[in-house]
């Protein structure tokens, strides 16, 4: 790569500073021009291996021919009719497909929206309507979106909640089982159970169970730093929800569509949520979210109570139907497992050479490493994390951080990435770690 950022990106950066609010920031200082498979190219023609997939959106890769064809065909036929006016055919077809492929051996229905946050909002509307109860429980270190309700449910202050209050009422948060940062003296084995117990405690101290409309949980925390809960956590939560007849809502916005090695992450623990919230990779790059769940919950709202102008747009639905076919036909969830194992093994091998790596963790192709200044104290190495990212960006790798302390490097490569591309991306990351460790 020559001068970086290139001249066109530098020019656009000036325009951006002039015309965009500061709050709308980007990780990379360059501007995207095109994408194909696992490669993104910026406006100056610089190529990058994409380990971010637009935050877990392009699981099937950039411009997958089958997705592009589906989008094109649909756009030539119908771009918008408005689901509340004359529902497009593709809406119904996709709703059926989502009901078929999501876990849960019971009758389901699906509602389509435009984003993850909007889908979260609607999941809360559905469970409040169905239960007649006001309260919702979510977890520390979670991320559910940037609208008022989804932001209130989010368990990280800076930057998502900072100065954006007052918050929506009746939201309560409890700890998520974060093994690497568990309370001193607590064993890893008891952590999952302790976090379920914290919900029971909340029922005693703060809000009684019969006031709770739903418990919202990420099966693996995404923005929180790819925190994989212990195996007993989700089943424990499921059991508690069944006991108190509280709907369990799984936020699979980041974990869904093959990312973790199964179509949906709850499948790893055979947990059947009552509602599943979807977005990101669902639309193959077009804005689309969904709430899929038990028919009796989804049907509680009167006609007109759910929906919106754009939700279930036919072009986005056509893309989603193609995405689902591609994931299944190309067996991408299984590929996620294989690629993830390859990356995990290599990254675990780095731990001997780079003391800055505190932990390498992940499931399927949702892999991360937490950087620390010292392995004993586990003090987050947030500044060094930025240095690693900067090195990677400047050397042709799109990479993101995450975590409560912004010290987690997360890998979200497309599930179609070739092994050599994956290895080349990991080479760059390894060079970055060498450079900041020198
Ligand atoms: C787990 C989870 N839920 C919800 C959202 C919000 O999705 P969106 O940005 O489409 O509103 C995100 C986005 O990162 C997410 O990771």
User: Are residues 243 and 382 located together in one domain of the fold?
Assistant: no
The alpha carbon of 227 and the centre of ligand 1 are apart by a number of angstroms equal to 15
User: Are residues 320 and 291 located together in one domain of the fold?
Assistant: yes
DSSP 60: T
User: Are residues 165 and 260 located together in one domain of the fold?
Assistant: yes
Per this entry, what is the length of the chain? Answer: 438
Q: Whose CA is nearest to atom 13 of ligand 1?
A: 145
Which atom of ligand 1 is least distant from the CA of 254?
A: 16
pLDDT of residue 186: 95
pLDDT above 80 for 2 = no
Distance in angstroms (rounded) separating the CA atoms of residues 170 and 211: 9
> Read out DSSP for 163-209?
T--SPPSSEEEE----GGGPPTT--HHHHHHHHHHHHHHHHHHTS-G
Distance in angstroms (rounded) separating the CA atoms of residues 200 and 76: 54
Phi, psi of 138 (to 5 degrees): -135, -170
Each residue's pLDDT tens digit, 89-139: 999 999 999 999 999 999 999 999 999 999 999 999 999 999 999 999 999
Which atom of ligand 1 is least distant from the CA of 120?
A: 4
User: Are residues 311 and 279 located together in one domain of the fold?
Assistant: yes
Each residue's pLDDT tens digit, 219-278: 999 999 999 999 999 999 999 999 999 999 999 999 999 999 999 999 999 999 999 999
pLDDT of residue 403: 98
Each residue's pLDDT tens digit, 85-98: 999 999 999 999 99
Q: Which helix (H) or strand (E) holds 372?
A: strand 366-374
The alpha carbon of 334 and the centre of ligand 1 are apart by a number of angstroms equal to 24
User: Are residues 133 and 264 located together in one domain of the fold?
Assistant: yes
- In this structure, are residues 294 and 108 in contact, taking their beta carbons and an 8 Å threshold? yes
The alpha carbon of 143 and the centre of ligand 1 are apart by a number of angstroms equal to 7
Please state, for a pLDDT cut of 70, what percent of the chain lies above it: 100
User: Are residues 335 and 324 located together in one domain of the fold?
Assistant: no
User: Are residues 92 and 183 located together in one domain of the fold?
Assistant: yes
Does 379 fall in a domain? Answer: yes
Each residue's pLDDT tens digit, 175-186: 999 999 999 999
Q: Whose CA is nearest to atom 16 of ligand 1?
A: 254
Each residue's pLDDT tens digit, 43-80: 999 999 999 999 999 999 999 999 999 999 999 999 99
Distance in angstroms (rounded) separating the CA atoms of residues 407 and 426: 18
Last residue of a domain, one of 310, 329, 348: 329
Residues at CB less than 6 angstroms from ligand 1:
55, 115-117, 120, 143-145, 218, 222-223, 251, 253-254, 279
Residue 424 domain boundaries: 7-60+331-437
- In this structure, are residues 215 and 171 in contact, taking their beta carbons and an 8 Å threshold? no
Last residue of a domain, one of 271, 300, 329: 329
The alpha carbon of 413 and the centre of ligand 1 are apart by a number of angstroms equal to 17
Q: Whose CA is nearest to atom 4 of ligand 1?
A: 144
The alpha carbon of 219 and the centre of ligand 1 are apart by a number of angstroms equal to 13
Which atom of ligand 1 is least distant from the CA of 252?
A: 1
Does 407 fall in a domain? Answer: yes
User: Are residues 55 and 89 located together in one domain of the fold?
Assistant: no
Averaged pLDDT of the chain: 98
The alpha carbon of 280 and the centre of ligand 1 are apart by a number of angstroms equal to 7
Q: Whose CA is nearest to atom 8 of ligand 1?
A: 116
The CATH number for 134's domain is: 3.40.640.10
Distance in angstroms (rounded) separating the CA atoms of residues 189 and 212: 28
pLDDT of residue 438: 86
Q: What pTM does this model have?
A: 0.98
pLDDT of residue 205: 98
The alpha carbon of 292 and the centre of ligand 1 are apart by a number of angstroms equal to 16
Last residue of a domain, one of 329, 364, 382: 329
Report the domain count for the chain. Answer: 2
User: Are residues 144 and 194 located together in one domain of the fold?
Assistant: yes
Cβ atoms within 10 A of the Cβ of 297, count? 22
Q: What is the CA radius of gyration of the chain?
A: 21
User: Are residues 226 and 374 located together in one domain of the fold?
Assistant: no
Segment 359-369 mean pLDDT = 98
Work out the pLDDT band at 1, boundaries 50, 70, 90.
Answer: low
- Tokens standing for residue 213: 């409309």
Each residue's pLDDT tens digit, 133-174: 999 999 999 999 999 999 999 999 999 999 999 999 999 999
User: Are residues 277 and 347 located together in one domain of the fold?
Assistant: no
Distance in angstroms (rounded) separating the CA atoms of residues 320 and 113: 13
């Amino acid at each position: 790569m020559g001068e970086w950022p290139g001249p066109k990106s530098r020019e656009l950066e000036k325009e951006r500073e002039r015309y965009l609010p500061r709050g709308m920031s980007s990780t990379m200082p360059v501007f995207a021009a095109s994408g194909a498979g696992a490669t993104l190219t910026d406006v100056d023609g610089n190529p990058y291996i994409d380990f971010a997939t637009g935050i877990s959106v392009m699981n099937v890769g950039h411009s997958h021919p089958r997705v592009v064809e589906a989008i094109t065909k649909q756009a030539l036929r119908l771009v918008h009719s408005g689901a509340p006016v004359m529902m497009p055919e593709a809406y119904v077809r996709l709703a059926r497909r989502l009901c078929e492929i999501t876990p849960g051996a019971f009758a389901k229905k699906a509602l389509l929206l435009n984003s993850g946050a909007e889908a979260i909002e609607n999941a809360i509307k559905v469970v409040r309507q169905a239960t007649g109860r006001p309260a919702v429980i979510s977890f520390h270190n979670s991320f559910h979106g940037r609208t008022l309700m989804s932001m209130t449910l989010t368990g990280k202050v800076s930057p998502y909640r900072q100065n954006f209050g007052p918050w929506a009422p009746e939201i309560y948060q409890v700890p998520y089982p974060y093994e690497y940062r568990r309370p001193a003296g607590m064993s890893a084995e008891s952590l999952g159970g302790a976090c379920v117990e914290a919900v029971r405690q909340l029922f005693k101290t703060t809000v009684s169970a019969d006031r709770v409309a739903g418990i919202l949980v990420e099966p693996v925390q995404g923005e929180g730093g790819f925190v994989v809960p212990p195996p007993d956590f989700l089943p424990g939560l499921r059991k508690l929800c069944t006991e108190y007849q509280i709907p369990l809502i799984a936020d699979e916005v980041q974990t869904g569509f093959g990312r973790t090695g199964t179509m949906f992450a709850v499948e790893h623990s055979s947990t059947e949520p009552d509602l599943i919230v979807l977005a990101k990779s669902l639309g193959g790059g077009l804005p689309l979210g969904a709430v899929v769940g038990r028919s009796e919950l989804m049907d509680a709202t009167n006609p007109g109570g759910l929906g919106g102008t754009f939700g279930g747009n036919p072009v986005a639905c056509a893309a989603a139907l193609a995405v689902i076919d591609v994931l299944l036909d190309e067996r991408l969830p299984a590929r996620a497992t294989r690629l993830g194992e390859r990356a995990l093994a290599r990254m675990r091998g780095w731990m001997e050479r780079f003391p800055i790596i505190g932990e390498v963790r992940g499931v399927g192709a949702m892999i991360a490493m937490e950087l620390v200044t010292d392995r004993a104290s586990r003090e987050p190495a947030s500044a060094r994390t930025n240095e690693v990212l900067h090195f990677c960006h400047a050397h042709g790798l799109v990479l993101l951080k995450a975590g409560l302390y912004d010290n987690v490097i997360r890998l979200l490569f497309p599930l179609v990435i070739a092994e050599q591309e994956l290895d080349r991306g990991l080479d760059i990351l390894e060079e970055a770690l060498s450079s900041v460790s020198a």
